[in-house]
Amino acid sequence: MVTTKDLEAHFEFECRACEKGQCRKADVNVILSERKGLKEFYEAFKEHIRECKRMTYGQYQFVIDREVLPEAVLWWHNHPEFKETHLSTAVGTDERPLNGQFVYMPFLNVQVEFANEPENYYVFLRAYLPADDPSFPSVAQKLPAALWIEREVKDLLGFNPVGHPDPRRLILPEDWPEGLYPLRKDMDYRHSPMAEPKVEFKEKPEGTTLVPMGPAHMGIEEPAHFRLFVKGETIVDVDYRGFYSHRGIEKTGEGRLTYNQVLFLAERICGICGYQHSVSYAMAVERLADVEIPDRARYIRTLLLELERIHNHLLWVGIAAHLVGYDTGFMHAWRIREPVMWLVERLTGNRKQYGMNIVGGVRRDILDYRKEEILKVVKQIREETKKFLDIALNTNTFIKRAEGVGILPYKVAKAYSVLGPTARASGRRIDTRKDQAVKTATAYNEVDFKVPVYKEGDVLARVLVRMDELFESLWIVEQLIDQMPGGDIMVPIGDLPEYEEALGFTEAHRGEVVHYVMTGEKNKVYRWKVRAPTYNNLPAVPEMLKGYHVADAPLIIASIDPCYSCTERVQFVDIETGKVKVLTEAEFNELSIKYKGVF
Amino acid sequence: MILEYAIGAFILGGLVGLIRDYKATVKASSFMAFLGSLALLWQVYYVYTNGPVTGSLFGIPVRIDNLSIVFLLIIGLVGVASSLFAINYMEMFENVGKGWVYAVAYNTFLASMALVVTVDSMEYFVMSWELMTLSSFILVFFSEKLRDVDASVKYYITMHFLDTIPLFLALGTAYSLVGSFDKLTFENIANAMANAPFHTKAVFGGLLMIAFMTKSGMIPFQFWVAETYRAAPTSVSAVMAGAMEKVALYGLIALIWRIVGTSYSLGLFVAVIGAITLTVGTLYALRETNAKRLLAYHSIGQMGYIWLGIGIGMALIPKGGFLAAVGALGAFAGLFHALNHAIFKASLFLSAGAVEYRTGTVDLDELGGLGKTMKVTALAALFASLAISGVPPFNGFLSKWLIYVSGYYSHSYVLALGAVLAAFISAATLASFVKFYGTQFGGKMKRYDVEEAPAGMLAGQWILAGLTLLIGVFPGTVTGILNVFNAPIDTNLYKIGFKSVFFSPVLFVIVLGILTFGLYLVFKPEYKEAKPWDCGSTQIDEDEYRINAEGYYIKYEEKIGSFYRLGDWFYSVGAGIIHYIVRAYLWMASYFTKIVDTPYTKVESLDDLREREIMHIDEEVFKPLIRFLNIARDVLPGIRLGTFIVIALIVVGAIVGLLIAM
Amino acid sequence: MAESLSYTEKLKKWNRFEAEKFSKKAPVTTPYPFIDIEKPPEYRGIPHINPEKCIGCGACVNACPPDALIMEWDKEHGVKRLTYNAARCIRCARCIEVCPTGAMEPTTRFEIATDNKEDLVEVVEHKLAYCEECGEYLDFTERQIEYVRNILPKEIFDMYALEDRIKLTQEEKMRRTVVKLRETEGNVYPAFVLVEKPRKSPKKKGGEE
Amino acid sequence: METTAKLAFSFIGVLLTFLLPPYLDGIARRVKARLQYRRGPPLMQTWYDLNKLFNLPSVKPTKSALFTWAPFLALASAVIGALLLPYGNVVPINVGFNLVVFFYVILMVSVFLMLAGLSVQNAFSHLGSAREMQIILTVEPLIAILYGVLAYNAGSLNIADIIANLHLTPSLVMTYVLLAYALYVESGFVPFDIAEAEQEVIGGPLSEYSGRLLGVFYYAIYIKRFALLWFFVSLLVLPWVGPINTTLKAAEVLAVQFLLTIALYPVIASLEATNARLRIDHVVKMNTRAFFAGVIILAMAFMGW
């Protein structure tokens, strides 16, 4: 077990002392020898690497030429030893106010060894793109995981992924004019233009007809549009159009809020995994600010994360049951879940969106008398869930619907960088809680748990992975209560360093949540990039759907536990940096009438 | 005899073909066919009221008895509707030309059918039968499209092998028994047959059975049906499906049952053939997406019902007692279904024709949304669809129901299973007609912005569609004519039943009507119009927002996929056999050609002919004649090649007929 | 922390274990709109401004992430208006944490459904202090000044001088400073230097930034 | 039995047909709620829902008259189907007291449902109609076989004759079991509610219906379910009570029918509650198996077992 004291040894923020974004003082060779694979990569791409540095503990950055981006990404992704390495996501930044260039930065979660926290790391491949020609060779033509990422930067920042196989619009609405990029810093927020709608959809395969699933469909909880090209009941091909629920969160966070306010915004990215986002964001900022939060705060965070996982898995299994018409399973799953909600409400003050975090710790302490209560709830849930699973998994009709449906093979899962239980049900051994150094913000390194992995890759496997995880979470909660240290629950954080970057990450119940934060001036955030797990899982859904029934579609779509609001956080409403205009109610109404149908 | 007027009208209709204008020709000849068919109906009425008629028609011995009039009724009804329909419909083939070919062939077709069911001589029966085959063959390749010509050739050769040859052999057998062509009346043959040894009976019956099974498309001779009906102009398909198949039924009853006699095992054989056919035919229809092929497979299936009913009759009537009553009920139900099938199947073909007339296609995958513009056609198709699916109170329900009743009461596992299959297939029929109606008339598509079909076509459809409801509600109107076998059915104007089982359609309709209207008035709907709910999609091609015909029952079709594969295997075997027969024909023909024509040509398949730009194998067969006619064509400019083929065919047919007759 | 003393008092009365509630068998649902629903005292409901305690400092406005709290100045009428909109509120209770006087009070109310949006809005108006010297309203409310006066340690500050200056506008203060400096040191500072400097000191100037 | 008694029984039949089905659904909802540890709505809830729907205008996505008339035709067919059955020993509307007619009339509800679904340009309602059809396609042969067995067993297709002449054989017992299955499938209860699956095809053929027309369709479906259950109950009860000669006995029998119907509905509801919805290929498979089981039963019946 690694204690926090051990952490200090690893926490050397030499780079902080260096010049901004540069690492001349730091010894490159020392950095490269810290982790396996770095040196190898450096040797392989020597001519193209401009800089290399350690951003923070376990996060390494190479500045490389844009020409070799695909090769570099694939080098890591297809590394023969690091099998479970995956492309986390990529960040596009408008750094023209700083250095006159755009930045495109894919980063990968490199798993040197499963559950070996000190060995694994994130690697960032930063490529500068000139302001007049922000193009780069597309990674997506070789790696489907990059499909959406590149379409997103194309939409929002106007980058040009050369050779992208599917360069349609992903995020912006159809009637948004060409050549206007909301996430660029010079975009004026008052400018909300409209143009003739231009709809691009896949061509219909011969002999099929169209079943539009969504945006408003009973089987899909949030707006998303799956175009199923069907032959009778059988799905032949699928097209996806999403991003109906943009809320301008990234842009808002970058614009007007201080780092502590962004935290609350981050929590509201998602209705049910809000705390994961909150912790990820807090972790990123804490890493930036180079503070170590108290042990008790780490424990409380972990406790709440796990409680959230418990109730979300129960919620999910309820929804899965509901989607196949097994309403009794649905009702019971949610009934079992209810005590957790009550518990969390008592611990934090809210059933969801706990508002518990603050950068540097947590806001409320877990009082001792409630520990007993937590243990009671955990015990009860364990018993009831066991009983529930006994019944549900013996319901023949339910199993018939889940078994052998929506199979996602390991290879496809890896190609799309699928995350979380979806990946683990396809045989991928990944779990950010064990793989990466989450110990700065949470206490996963001090508890014992297993990571269930199934190889079948169908919906039933996803159910089983989640249910196994649920029991592991209950065990984690018990350990945490047992080991809960005393002490403070937060440390104050002063001003943040300017133009520093770091990554925060947790394993949400859907997969790895990643928050990339780059600070600006005056305790503001210059670039905040959120990547929810659904963002990686959803592009793989069409692959899962093909060949199955229309009847299975809601279940298969739900089987990745999609969260569209997590995925679709980006929007174009900009607020001029440093200057805040608060809309009054009347103005807001006026605007919403004016742009009815635009947002 | 009124039949003479009818035949006269048909002949006149054929002569109308002398008019050179295409449209005038087809209209006038169709109209004459319409008049002829009306005369047939008149004849039916006459016989029904005055009893059987015997006489001579242009020297042909004719006897119109109570069995004949059932079939005359069928031919008359279908003829009336189809001819009326054809007046407008045949305009579609103006680019093909050859109006007079149609005029001759169509009228000959109707006349020959009328003759088949009325003549009282085996010899003339066979002759008119041949005339019927030949004229229908000409009508099938009328559109002159490549695929249609293929189909027509297949049809012709099948008929040649499985129809003509057995019939001629049977004729020979009959001749050998009776000993004179003049005395070849059915009665004489029956008398002779009564004393004949069993094997003679078996040979005679077997040969006829093959011929009639082929003509009515029974398993395993059903392979020609689908393509033929698809290829023929729709009004002709309607006559073929509605009337021509029933003529084979007439043969079954008049020649086999009445002459050869029946037994339990023979009846069982017929019933089993019927049961298998109805299953296979309808299940094949289920997966069809071409409206005409779908209807064609259904006519196979429905003929299976009829044969099942007749088979029950043939099996049980000899047993006597209660079972004889059940058997008579079965036979009655079979005949009733024959009439009903003629009505609704012809109506369905006509509505498919109306759709084809307006949209130019019969592909159910393509069609859609016509209910909005072609309201009257849609309603006629709905009536006929409900009738064929056996939904009360339409006529199909009654006859099917009586078949089930007779099957269940038969005390025979096989026949009861046949009835079970019939009930099951009733569901399959419903399925494919839900598809047939839904895909063509349901929904709203921008693709087809068409008008309603012309009045003549609507009249044609509605004569029949109206009858489905009329007979369904008042079965008493036709049971008198149909009850050839004196089945103890309990029928009056408002109910039909057998023993304790009965159904009163009038009461049913009244209750249903009162309830529906009453409930409508109670819950009088108010509504706003809106476009269909598409889940709020951004942009969607409404024409594609549907399930196409192919996808309707795909899961069910997968489930019975092994059945289809087996059927397809049989089909390919059959096609192979036909292919070799064609080759044999061509081989013979090439030698024939070699004798007449110096250049030796190696022709082995139809494709070879196509390469040589010879469209019809008959050109090969009748090459010398064609050469002669080619010369004649040079002499008489302006007449086309196709015309000569037809003349050649008719002449050859006549010669062959005369040669055999003499 | 939001947990004031009275709050913990309330907690002690609420010593029921929910686990027991949920271990009970069917039915577990309640006919909700017809009966009141039980809420634990820890529940963070809609906050509520106690107008008696509020001094109009705007600390809550600064902390509020979703701009549910807005501050407006109406210098013509001498009014500072604090508006709380429950419809925008995300119930994070940051305002309760930062409020110096405890005027932001937590409640356990959560039902905000209404047919009139205005029911969700709370407005507190504060009178602005008036500078008699220049005849203009200050940025601060009278209560703010009162509060500052009360919390400042009287031993250290020269209360007299404070009393003199506290009700003056910024410009007047600067002017006086300049005058004073000139008087005391005889130095002639450029005016802009003097104007620039005090800008840093009052950080909580309002919601404008 | 004198005419007044007959009229009274007919009247009770009509009353039951129109009033009872939504209450039965209310019972089912209550039972399901209890199995799911919920409080559940009042027994009248289905009536409240229907009442709400009856008071709302509809949205019409097509100009097709079929779309408007289908609900009424379906409701009328369902009512006729229900009234074709014996209440006590009285059949309210005797248009043909036999099995085939009864099943065809009940089938008409589905026929109009499908035609209505196909009359609009909507892939979901097309899918729903196709599913409904495929279920019918597989369950009708089974029903045909079963009424074959009944007809053979009793020597008649007439329901009255069947009731009078049915004698207990092993095949009859198996027929009862299979009939229960077939009727359950035909009624479209949960594992078989594929055609109207809300989560998959947003209500199937009903997806375009709203307001009053939807209410009428729901009413038709409830009455259809009631009719099928009443048929089963009648078949279960009437053959074994001996000839019904007196009004009192008829009343007793009616009471037994009524109570058994109410008693069986919770069983159906608990079956519904403990199952997930099947997929169409599962149903096709199951029904095909049941069909072959039925063929064996028919063979048994013919052998006299």
Q: Looking at beta carbons, which residues of chain B come within 8 Å of A201?
A: 539
| Confidence band of B635 (pLDDT split at 50, 70, 90) | very low
Residues B604 and B653 in one domain: yes
| Domain end (from A114, A148, A182) | A148
Model pLDDT for residues A43-90, shown as the tens digit of each residue: 898 888 888 888 888 889 999 999 999 999 999 999 888 888 999 999
Q: Looking at beta carbons, which residues of chain A come within 8 Å of D277?
A: 324-326, 397, 401
Rounded Cα distance between C193 and A597, Å, is: 52
CB count in 10 Å sphere of residue B455: 12
Rounded Cα distance between A185 and A95, Å, is: 8
CB distance A209–B548 less than 8 Å?
A: yes
Sheet strands (E) in chain D: 58-60
Specify the pLDDT at position B652.
64
D65: Cβ–Cβ under 8 A, 6 or more apart, which residues?
none
Specify the pLDDT at position B620.
52
Say which DSSP state B431 is in.
Answer: H
Express as a percent the part of chain A with pLDDT over 70: 89
- Chains with at least 3 CB pairs less than 8 angstroms from chain B: A, D
Token look-up 């006066």 returns: C149
Across A260-279, average pLDDT = 86
Query: Using CA of residue D26, residue D30, residue D33, residue D35, what is the dihedral sign?
Result: negative
Q: How many Å from the N-terminal Cα to the C-terminal Cα in chain C?
A: 26
Specify the pLDDT at position B55.
83
| Confidence band of A579 (pLDDT split at 50, 70, 90) | very low
Containing structural domain, residue B394: 262-527
Q: Is a pLDDT exceeding 90 seen at residue A32?
A: no
Rounded Cα distance between B111 and B115, Å, is: 6
Task: Give the number of C-alpha atoms closer than 13 A to the C-alpha of residue A331, restricted to the C-beta side.
Answer: 20
Question: What's chain B's average pLDDT?
Answer: 81
Specify the pLDDT at position A122.
92
Specify the pLDDT at position B658.
59
Residues B363 and B503 in one domain: yes
Q: Between these two residues, A180 and B308, which has the higher pLDDT value?
A: B308
- ipTM confidence: 0.83
Rounded Cα distance between A357 and A344, Å, is: 14
Rounded Cα distance between A406 and A319, Å, is: 16
B373 token code pair: 């513009």
Amino acid type, A94: D
Give the three-class secondary structure for D244.
Answer: coil
The number of distinct structural domains making up chain B is 2
Q: Is a pLDDT exceeding 80 seen at residue B615?
A: no
The number of distinct structural domains making up chain A is 2
- Each of the 305 residues of chain D gets a pLDDT tens digit; together they read 678 888 888 899 999 999 999 999 999 999 998 888 888 888 889 999 999 999 888 888 888 888 889 999 999 999 999 998 888 888 888 777 778 888 888 989 999 999 998 888 888 888 899 889 889 888 888 988 888 888 888 877 777 778 878 888 888 889 999 999 999 999 988 888 888 888 888 888 898 888 889 999 999 999 999 999 999 998 888 888 877 778 888 888 899 999 999 999 999 999 998 888 888 888 888 998 998 898 888 888 888 77
Rounded Cα distance between C141 and C103, Å, is: 15
Packing angle, helices B375-389 and D99-118, rounded to 10 = 150
Specify the pLDDT at position A318.
92
Residues B474 and B588 in one domain: no
Q: Shortest Cα distance from B435 to chain D (angstroms)?
A: 8
Containing structural domain, residue A537: 249-567
Give the Å distances, CA to CA, from B461 to B70, B80, B81, B82, D191: 21, 10, 7, 8, 42
Q: Of B259, B312, B278, B301, give the one whose Cα is nearest residue B485.
A: B312
The answer to whether the beta carbons of residues D301 and D155 sit under 8 Å apart is: no
| Confidence band of A479 (pLDDT split at 50, 70, 90) | very high
CB distance A550–D201 less than 8 Å?
A: yes
Q: Is a pLDDT exceeding 60 seen at residue B228?
A: yes
The answer to whether the beta carbons of residues D233 and D268 sit under 8 Å apart is: no
CB distance C94–A264 less than 8 Å?
A: yes
Q: Of D90, D81, D21, give the one whose Cα is nearest residue B512.
A: D81
Specify the pLDDT at position B548.
84
Amino acid type, D132: E
CB distance B559–D57 less than 8 Å?
A: no
CB distance C28–D34 less than 8 Å?
A: no
Across C182-197, average pLDDT = 56
D53 token code pair: 């729907």
Specify the pLDDT at position A17.
41
Q: Looking at beta carbons, which residues of chain A come within 8 Å of D32?
A: 327-328
Q: Between these two residues, B272 and B649, which has the higher pLDDT value?
A: B272
A281 token code pair: 């964001």
Tell me which CATH code domain C5-14+31-128 carries. Answer: 3.30.70.3270
Across B219-238, average pLDDT = 85
β B60-64/A501-508 pair status: unpaired
Q: Of A462, A436, A450, give the one whose Cα is nearest residue A540.
A: A462
In a domain, A161, yes or no: no
β A357-358/A525-531 pair status: unpaired
Say which DSSP state A35 is in.
Answer: S
Residue D40 sits at the chain B interface (C-beta within 8 Å): no
Specify the pLDDT at position A578.
31
Q: How many Å from the N-terminal Cα to the C-terminal Cα in chain A?
A: 50
Express as a percent the part of chain B with pLDDT over 70: 88
β B527-529/D58-60 pair status: parallel
Nearest to A268 among C18, C63, C90 (CB): C90
Residue B604 sits at the chain A interface (C-beta within 8 Å): no
φ, ψ of residue C49 in degrees (nearest 5): -90, 125
In a domain, B532, yes or no: no
CB distance D279–A401 less than 8 Å?
A: yes
Cα of B457 vs its chain's centroid, Å: 19
Specify the pLDDT at position C209.
37
In a domain, B302, yes or no: yes
Nearest to A380 among C19, C121, C207 (CB): C19
Model pLDDT for residues B554-598, shown as the tens digit of each residue: 888 888 888 888 888 888 887 787 777 777 766 666 555 555 444
Model pLDDT for residues B518-563, shown as the tens digit of each residue: 988 888 888 888 888 888 776 777 788 888 888 888 888 888 888 8
The answer to whether the beta carbons of residues B68 and B500 sit under 8 Å apart is: no
CB distance B538–A199 less than 8 Å?
A: yes
Q: Is a pLDDT exceeding 80 seen at residue B341?
A: yes
Specify the pLDDT at position C157.
67
B659: Cβ–Cβ under 8 A, 6 or more apart, which residues?
none
Residue C26 sits at the chain D interface (C-beta within 8 Å): yes
Q: Is a pLDDT exceeding 60 seen at residue C196?
A: no
Amino acid type, B444: K
Specify the pLDDT at position D221.
93
CB distance A355–C117 less than 8 Å?
A: no
Give the Å distances, CA to CA, from D15 to B260, C117, D46, D233: 59, 49, 17, 18
CATH number for position A81: 3.30.460.80
Model pLDDT for residues A392-410, shown as the tens digit of each residue: 888 888 898 888 898 999 9
Q: Of A147, A170, A175, A144, give the one whose Cα is nearest residue A157.
A: A170
Q: Of A158, A148, A143, give the one whose Cα is nearest residue A92.
A: A158
Residue D286 sits at the chain B interface (C-beta within 8 Å): no
β A135-137/A160-162 pair status: parallel
Number of H helices, E strands in chain B: 27, 6
Residues B523 and B568 in one domain: no
Model pLDDT for residues A487-524, shown as the tens digit of each residue: 888 888 888 888 888 999 999 888 899 999 998 888 88
Total residues found in chain B within this entry: 662
φ, ψ of residue B602 in degrees (nearest 5): -95, 105
Please give the model's pTM, rounded to 2 decimal places: 0.86
Rounded Cα distance between B382 and A227, Å, is: 32
The answer to whether the beta carbons of residues D114 and B442 sit under 8 Å apart is: no
Rounded Cα distance between A221 and B523, Å, is: 34
Chains B and C touch (3+ CB pairs under 8 A): no
φ, ψ of residue B414 in degrees (nearest 5): -65, -50
Q: Of A498, A565, A556, A501, give the one whose Cα is nearest residue A533.
A: A565
Q: Between these two residues, A108 and B176, which has the higher pLDDT value?
A: A108
Specify the pLDDT at position C200.
43
Give the Å distances, CA to CA, from B271 to A23, A497, B265, B277, B425: 94, 94, 10, 10, 15
Nearest to D37 among C28, C30, C31 (CB): C28
